[in-house]
Amino acid sequence: MEEAMCVDGVAAQRERLMEALRIYGGHYAELSRRFAGWLGLHSTDATAVLQIAAAEERGTPLSPARLSERISLSTGATTALLNRLEAAGHITRVREHSDRRVVTLRSGGHIQERADEFFGPLAQRLDTTMSHYPPRLLEQFEAFMADLNSTMDTHLTEQGTAAPRSPDTPRERTSQ
């Protein structure tokens, strides 16, 4: 009887964690929608701008093909989106690779400033919240999130609609 209660408690805990992740995802989607409105962009355009800026910040700028994968648009729709963003001065397409056929996407300087202005206060709050947890627990949570993302990637791949992995997400689970 005690073992069954323990199993039920673990199942309930897992469900609470999944619900918390769904809520966080909803908050993130709402924040993205508000950022798009704040910039005066369609939400897909704002998502693309954020993907381009984040990739630059990581030192791994995107090509149009990689952006297309990340935001789940066809190449034609991505080209139209990039044309709009470039015409508005939000991004540039450059040929900076030794292979001049390779196009790299760069965000306009104002985009990073605007993103920092919009997301900066939240980033500070989240950092403050995370500072309350010991590094070891954060490492375990990072491994947990990597496992969840890997599981989701596998599921999407099996469905034939794989979303790209986050380049910052480790492929393998860290030992505990």
154 lies in a domain?
no
Q: Does a structural domain hold residue 28?
A: yes
Q: Say if 83 falls within a structural domain.
A: yes
pLDDT value at position 174? 47
- Whether 158 maps to a domain, the answer reads no
Q: Phi and psi at residue 170, in whole multiples of 5°? A: -60, 145
118 in a structural domain: yes
Report the C-alpha gap between 46 and 49 in whole angstroms. Answer: 5
Domain count, the chain: 1
- Over residues 45-57, mean pLDDT: 93
Task: Write out pLDDT tens, residues 55-105.
Answer: 999 999 999 999 999 998 999 999 999 999 999 999 999 987 777 778 999
In a domain, 157, yes or no: no
CATH number reported for the structural domain that contains residue 24 in this entry? 1.10.10.10
The CA–CA distances, whole Å, from 120 to 41, 55, 113, 135 equal 19, 18, 10, 22
**Does the residue 13 lie in any domain?**
yes
Flag whether 97 is in a domain: yes
Q: 9-13, 26-30, 124-128, 159-163: which has the highest mean pLDDT?
A: 124-128
Per-residue pLDDT, averaged over 154-173, amounts to: 65
**Which residues constitute the domain of residue 41?**
2-132
Per-residue model confidence as pLDDT tens digits over 113-155 = 999 999 999 999 999 999 999 999 999 999 999 999 999 989 9
Using pLDDT thresholds of 50, 70 and 90, give the confidence band for residue 156: confident
For residue 98, what are its two tokens? 């030794």
Q: What value, to the nearest 5°, has the Cα angle with vertex 134 and ends 128 and 140?
A: 110
At residue 124, the pLDDT reads 98
